[in-house]
Structure 1
Amino acid sequence: MSNFLESLYSQATFNLKPSPIREMLHLIRRPGMISFAGGMPDPEIFPVEQFKEAAGILDREGKDVLQYGTTEGYLPLKEFLAEWTAPKMGRKLATDEILITTGSTQIVDLLSWVLIDKGDWVICEEPTFLGATLTMRNHGASFLTVPCDENGMKVDMIPEMVEKARKEGKKVKFIYTIVNFHNPLGCDLSLERRKKLIEIAEKYNLLILEDDPYGYVRFDGEEIPSIFSMDTSGRVVFACSFSKILAPGTRVAWCAGNKEVIRKMTVFKQGVDVCTSVVAQAMVYEYCRLGHLDSFLPKIIDHYRKKRDAMEEAFRKYLPQGEVKWLTPRGGFFYWLETPKVKAKDLFEKAVEKKVAFVLGEPFFPNGGGEHNFRMCFTFASKEQTEEGISRLGEALRELL
């Protein structure tokens, strides 16, 4: 039977790679396991009552929102986003500059349909979000990876990379960057580097996909202007989502960009899922219209700030000093740790024996690396679980050292 199927599979199927995080779910769900692996929001802070109130839109518009909707998105939600995002975007968007999608991974998928031919190249951070690179790779992309420091991607390295690649006949299409509270690094791309990135995109005729799923979940420091707000020629597609600022179960995200690019993404979306759930979009809109997004978001931020502080405190208390390196994120969901003397895979195996889990660093490196790195999510576990889990992690690390 398998030989029969192999003769029918597409080439893409033979190159298919599953998400390591999704593949870990069976492990994470073992009884007694404390997980810092999946980048999941805390269900304890989900605005259940407020969202139930938003379901009242079904009383008024149920016959409409239970019907097929436009592929571009539910117009009242787009009009709300045009106003609400104006401070971050630098201006009020036109509704035809916005596309509502089914989660932000669909933005990566649709833009890949628009821009990537098999064998094309994408510039991204090293490491970067594995969900995005898996999607791009499925479209046939390869990656030029740029190292990072506490100020994000070292953008000064990009020109030489692009010139070398083009001399070798490679087609470089766009730059993918996670600008705020990077997944997995936790750092911000500095203002200076954002400005430089726009200049580079202009000079080398590249687009920028500015992925910002965590930007509204800032704990400390001043907000840094978006790359989109600096763009004067329509080179930036900005991606964001309600997953972190409301709840991921809504599966409602949005992107903003050049009208021509948005239109082409929309046409591809017609063949992917026709439209994002109109019911979900309408309920998200009503939630926003009732003022819950603005009133509840500070509670989410405060809740996660306390969780970050609890993890930071536990690191200092339980991890062997001088043997582990990390950057304290100013927002978002993640810590990125480095253990120079211990391989993360060995630590993972020892930690799982003690019923604590994290995500290995290697899958976040599209071209290899990360053997001594791992990612820890601080948003999902309770404060007590964080304390206990990192105590166990410290034991595991000391045993290996």
Structure 2
Amino acid sequence: MSGIWQDNFSSVAKNNRPSPIREMLAVIKQPGMISFAGGMPAPEVFPVDQFYEGAHILKDQGKELLQYGTTEGYPPLKDFLAAWTAPRLGRKAGPEEMLITTGSQQALDLFAWSMIDKGDYVITEDPSYLAALTVFFNHGGSFLGVPTDRNGMQVDLLPGIIEKARSEGKKIKFIYTIVNFHNPGGSTMSVERRKKLVEISKQYNIPIFEDDPYGYVRYEGDHLPSIFSFHDQGGVIYAGSFSKILSPGTRVGWVTGPKEIIRNLTVFKQGTDLCSSTITQALVAEYCVNGHLDRHLPVIIDNYRVKRDAMEKSFEKHLTPLGVTWVKPEGGFFYWLKFPTVNTNDLFKKAIDKKVAFVPGDPFCPTAGAGIHNARLCYTFPSPEIIEEGVKRLAEAVTELAIPAVH
């Protein structure tokens, strides 16, 4: 690289962390590759016709929509979301308690701008959402990982972790959690643990970022109350997204929380992109207000449930005999597998040779080396037939790696 650039990069740029999933896209796109790697919605369930119905709004309100919009977001969309999320949040949020973002990823970035100074600590599940770890790290954050099980973050461990960290002079700024159908873990935090987490938040004066992009994609059981709904002191910020329930191409997310933190995020957004696309927000609002979102969710859920069940069946057939274990997700996009006999970084290379891709577990884990026997697999994009073939190939790779061929 030219020295004129390298010599003048910021310290953040010199030490930033790229996304392993984005970096492996070239490999995944090889001809004949079966990919369980990216968290891709199924294109066959995109509601193209229903979304297109709203295009008339460009003709009707084009002069306003083609102008700059407010940083806070398109008011009709905020009005819809305030009412639509009220049952989950326990109340209807006011306009000053919500910000529309360019995808929920931007909400994470704006929150990091608002909260993290270099050297601060963030508590996360271990494993956690890769892109959240990346953005917090790139803002100078360090991590305290909390192990998970099928009921989510093991909240009982938190007091000990917090007190030990504080005794060592570490400053903890917030707790980041994905409560429903965790990415990558697949688990859902129990109601008991949600309530306990709120009590710990209040006891130690540490706010919570509740990330819920998958919560409405539930295949069985009842929706659980949000952490936001339990916190009576305004200590939770809740983020949602249209990426998994409509389409990622809309790049529309939202975040709800107390006025003071929403105001802070809004100021940082002013300096980031001025406002999210008003045209896209208006199209999404039109789609939602016309009732299409509520009618479409069952279509998504039925499609993905079939694929989840197909992957579960394929795992039982091909991977259970090899000692591989996992948590069956009640919704969402992902399985988190444990391969006790192999390093999944090595398994990835072997699997690519067999034209099947997944994401090795290590980058998801804030604790170094914690994920070397794990892998994340997404089931929403491929068909059940392709899932079966892909899992079969993966099992072959595991077998060959665990029992090397004799020459």
Range class of TM-score, shorter chain = over 0.9
Name the residue aligned to 1:179: 179
Which amino acid letter does the alignment assign opposite residue 211 of structure 2?
D
Say whether 1:310 aligns with 2:315: no
Taking the TM superposition and a 5 Å limit, the aligned residue runs for 1:1-400 are 2-368=2-368, 369-400=370-401
Q: Structure 1: where are the runs of 5+ without partners?
A: none
Aligned amino acid, residue 129 of structure 2 = F
Counterparts of 1:165 and 1:282, CA distance in 2: 46
Deviation above 6 Å: which 4+ runs of structure 1?
none
CA apart distance, 1:40? 0.6
C-alpha deviation, 1:367, in angstroms: 2.5
C-alpha distance in 2 between matches for 1:6 and 1:356:
36
Say if 1:320 and 1:394, in contact at 8 Å, map to a contact too: no
**Alpha-carbon separation, structure 2, partners of 1:320 and 1:310:** 14
In the alignment, the residues of structure 2 paired with residue 106 and residue 293 of structure 1 have an alpha-carbon distance, to the nearest angstrom, of: 22
Normalising by structure 2, we get a TM-score of 0.97
In structure 1, C-alpha distance between the alignment counterparts of 2:68 and 2:33, rounded to whole Å:
42
Give the superposition deviation at 1:2: 2.7
Q: Distance in 2 between matches of 1:326 and 1:202?
A: 33
Deviation per CA, 1:170-224: give whole Å up to 9, x if none: 1111000000000000000110110011111111111100000000000011111
SS at match of 1:299: helix
**Equivalent pairs: percent with the same residue?**
61
Shift of 1:243: 0.3
CA contact (8 A) 1:47 1:246 kept: yes
Compute the displacement of 1:318 (Å): 2.1
Structure 1 residues 253-310: Cα deviation after superposition (integer angstroms, max 9, x where no partner): 0010001100010000000000000011000000001110011111111110011011
The one-letter amino acid of 1:148's match is: T
* Contact 1:147 1:153 (C-alpha < 8 Å) held by counterparts: yes
Provide Cα deviations, 1:65-119, integer angstroms capped at 9, x if missing partner: 1110000000000001111111001011111111000011111111111111111
Tell me the distance in 1 between the aligned counterparts of 2:323 and 2:131: 29
Instruction: Decide which moves more: 191-200 or 56-65.
Output: 56-65
1:17 shift after superposition: 1.1
TM-score by length of 1: 0.98
Contact 1:198/1:231 (<8 A) preserved = yes
What amino acid maps onto 1:3 in structure 2? G
Quick check: 313-322 or 67-76, which moved more? 313-322
**Mapped contact 1:115–1:173 kept (Cα < 8 A):** yes
What is the deviation of 1:320? 4.7
Q: 2:240 corresponds to which letter in structure 1?
A: C
Which range moves more in the overlay, 272-281 or 3-12?
Answer: 3-12
The residue identity in structure 1 corresponding to 2:376 is: R
One-letter amino acid of the counterpart of residue 349, structure 1: K
CA contact 1:104–1:239 (8 Å) conserved in 2? yes
Q: Which moved more, 1:338-347 or 1:354-363?
A: 338-347
Please report how far the alpha carbon of residue 313 of structure 1 lies from its aligned counterpart in structure 2 after TM superposition: 1.0
The CA deviation string for residues 142-191 of structure 1, in whole angstroms up to 9 with x for no partner, is 00100011111011111111112112211111000000000000000110
In structure 1, how many angstroms separate the alpha carbons of the residues matched to 2:320 and 2:264?
A: 52
Secondary structure, in 3 states, of the residue corresponding to 1:221? coil
Q: Which residues of structure 2 form unaligned runs of 5+?
A: 403-407
Q: Per-residue deviation at 1:322? A: 4.8
Larger deviation, residues 230-239 vs 162-171: 162-171
Rounded to whole Å, the distance in 1 between the matches of 2:247 and 2:4 is 43
Structure 2 Cα separation of the partners of residues 346 and 114 of structure 1: 39
Match of 2:405? none
Q: Specify the code of the residue in structure 2 equivalent to 1:241.
A: S
Q: What letter matches 1:156 in structure 2?
A: D
3-state SS in 2 of match to 1:330: coil
Partner of 2:175: helix, strand, or coil?
Answer: strand
Q: Which moved more, 1:58-67 or 1:269-278?
A: 58-67
Tell me the amino acid that sits aligned with residue 391 of structure 1.
K
Give the C-alpha shift of residue 252 in structure 1: 0.1
The count of residues paired between Structure 1 and Structure 2 equals: 401
Q: Distance in 2 between matches of 1:326 and 1:156?
A: 22
Contact 1:320 1:398 in 2 (8 A): no
| Rounded Cα–Cα distance in structure 1 between residues aligned with 2:102 and 2:314 | 36
Paired residues of 1:130 and 1:363 also in contact (CA < 8 A): yes
Using the alignment, how far apart are the partners of 2:140 and 2:318 within structure 1? 43
- CA offset digits 1:366-389 (Å, max 9, x no partner): 231211100000001112211111
